[in-house]
Amino acid sequence: MTTYLWNPPPVAALPVRGESALLPVQRLFFVGRNYHAHAVEMGKPVDKSVERPFYFTKSIQTLTRSGATTPYPAQTQNYHFEMELVVAIGKAGFQIPAQQAHEYIYGYAAGLDMTRRDLQLVARDKGRPWDLGKDVEHSSVCSEIVPMPGVVIEQGEIALQVNGTVQQHSDVNKLIWNIREIIADLSLFYHLVPGDLIYTGTPEGVGAVKPGDHITGQVAGVGEVSLHVGQPA
Ligand code: MN
């Protein structure tokens, strides 16, 4: 029997609607600048005719279940919410054609890509990696997974409120690169496996939170995610 010097971490996993079994999560992929209005508010408009999607990843340890209270992170004065539709991959695949992308979808979730915006923008503007801005402890918030095997979501309201006030409101039909295109493109770089999650990008209206704030967000037809922002720890 294998022994370890100390207890290995628990398996990262999310509840699944209608199932008692949890979905074990593998990797966390994030699409950057995937709604025009958000790209513009970041000062980096996207021209799909000449650009390709780009990605960043976060450590699996950042995965946080909806409803949690997480500490306001260190080293930021500008901790931002980003409301996102999350795709859960259910089947291994590499170099997946867009027209077959639906076969690799297990389901969807509502997620938050919490971001140290001040550090992300410093890194971006200095040409440095985004890790300190994006790979923030507790920053990958995810609702339960909703099984929708083979379904490609092409439209639906996406919205976020802070303390009940609407801050983000858009539709996933505004994705610059849609679900099929993202799965096809990402799978050119990675051998996707069941349990990989893809956060598909945020619409406009991103903004800062402070300790004590309560974030709620919804994707129509999928579900709701929430997060309580606690005191620094
Ligand atoms: Mn994001």
Q: How far is the CA of 32 from the centre of ligand 1 (A)?
A: 6
Would you say 182 and 87 are in contact if contact means Cβ atoms under 8 Å apart?
yes
Residues 58 and 178: their CA atoms lie apart, in Å, by 21
Q: How far is the CA of 7 from the centre of ligand 1 (A)?
A: 32
Give pLDDT, residue 153: 98
Q: How far is the CA of 161 from the centre of ligand 1 (A)?
A: 16
Would you say 198 and 31 are in contact if contact means Cβ atoms under 8 Å apart?
yes
Q: How far is the CA of 178 from the centre of ligand 1 (A)?
A: 15
Q: How far is the CA of 30 from the centre of ligand 1 (A)?
A: 6
Q: How far is the CA of 5 from the centre of ligand 1 (A)?
A: 36
Residue 118 φ/ψ region, left for φ over 0, alpha for ψ in the -120 to 50 degree band, beta for the rest = alpha
Q: How far is the CA of 99 from the centre of ligand 1 (A)?
A: 25
Q: What is the pTM of this model?
A: 0.98
SS3 content of the chain, % helix, strand, coil (to 5): 20, 35, 45
Q: How far is the CA of 87 from the centre of ligand 1 (A)?
A: 13
Would you say 81 and 160 are in contact if contact means Cβ atoms under 8 Å apart?
yes
Q: How far is the CA of 177 from the centre of ligand 1 (A)?
A: 14
* CATH 3.90.850.10 for the 17-230 domain, yes or no: yes
Q: How far is the CA of 84 from the centre of ligand 1 (A)?
A: 7
What is the tens place of the pLDDT at every residue in 28-84?
Answer: 999 999 999 999 999 999 999 999 999 999 999 999 999 999 999 999 999 999 999
Domain boundaries in the chain?
A: 17-230
Three-class SS of residue 201? coil
Q: What is the CA radius of gyration of the chain?
A: 17
- Strands 207-208, 105-113: pairing kind: unpaired
What is the tens place of the pLDDT at every residue in 170-195?
Answer: 999 999 999 999 999 999 999 999 99
Q: How far is the CA of 98 from the centre of ligand 1 (A)?
A: 22
Angle, alpha carbons 22-148-84 (nearest 5°): 80
What is the tens place of the pLDDT at every residue in 203-219?
Answer: 999 999 999 999 999 99
Give pLDDT, residue 160: 98
